[in-house]
Amino acid sequence: MVARQVLAADPAVLADLAAVRLGESAFRRELSRVDDAGFDAPTLLPGWTRRHLVAHVGYNARALSRLVVWADTGVETPMYASAEARNAEIEMGATLRPQALRSLAEHAAIELDVRWRDLPDDRWAAPVRTAQGRELPVSETLWLRQREVWLHAVDLCTGLRMRDLPADFLERLVPDVLGAWARRGEGAGLRLVSGDLSSGRAWGADADSATAVASGALPDLVAWATGRSADPYGDGLSWSGEGPQVAPLWV
């Protein structure tokens, strides 16, 4: 039998597809380290056990699949009926047996990958809308899923650390987080610098207008910005100006 080929031709889409598959592999690997009794253990996300997190990752894949169907057919198919429905789905999923949760995460990820594979090349720019109401091309679902699987692989607390994640993923995530803050009118005046203050890569406010500057290793910056630092003021970060600060909520 001849294998089905990805229909997309855009190099950026193909690169993102490869990147998200790498992230999915990492999440599966970390999940495989959790025995059935370990599903009741806490994660890095307050109030969520591994049960909640695995259910969320599985249902997120299904929700993104609905956006791909929307782009493919032109028929509006929201990620979730409502925020309440999303939350209820996760709570229900958290009651499933560990094997059912493993199957949910695996099969939902496979379905999403197949949806991406079979999406015609001319549909990747089709607009869809996220659960937060933001309109974007369906190609962005590849990035949204990368965020989910890489960060939640860390959140499982099975040994993967922020510094183990690909540097290009972390570099892409910083402006993503800052953009989310800016849309809510938060984070103005913050400047984040990876590495040396004088020569490191910087995001956010420019050097002249910054009111607070946080500098440090890129993984430490991302951990702070996404609320995953052991210290709410940024474990390992150096601050100048109006700092240290607690990061605004991201999502």
Report the relative pairing of strands 135-137 and 127-129 from DSSP bridges: antiparallel
Least confidently predicted of 3-12, 17-26, 44-53, 153-162: 3-12
Residue carrying the six token digits 């996404």: 226
Look up residue 2 and give its two tokens. Answer: 């001849």
Residues 77 and 127 sit within 8 Å (Cβ to Cβ): no
Look up residue 21 and give its two tokens. Answer: 């598959």
Residues 187 and 240 sit within 8 Å (Cβ to Cβ): no
Look up residue 245 and give its two tokens. Answer: 């600060």
**For residue range 83-94, what is the model confidence (pLDDT) as tens digits?**
999 999 999 999
**For residue range 47-90, what is the model confidence (pLDDT) as tens digits?**
999 999 999 999 999 999 999 999 999 999 999 999 999 999 99
Please determine, for residue 38, whether its predicted confidence score (pLDDT) is greater than 50: yes
Residue 159: per-residue pLDDT: 96
Query: Does this model's pTM top 0.85?
Result: yes
Least confidently predicted of 3-17, 33-47, 68-82, 197-211: 197-211
Distance from C-alpha of 169 to C-alpha of 246, rounded to nearest angstrom: 23
Domains with residue ranges and CATH for the chain: 11-160 (1.20.120.450), 176-241 (3.30.1050.20)
pLDDT category at 195 given cuts 50, 70, 90 is confident
pLDDT category at 2 given cuts 50, 70, 90 is very low
Distance from C-alpha of 50 to C-alpha of 57, rounded to nearest angstrom: 10
pLDDT category at 251 given cuts 50, 70, 90 is confident
Q: Which residue has the higher pLDDT, 226 or 251?
A: 226
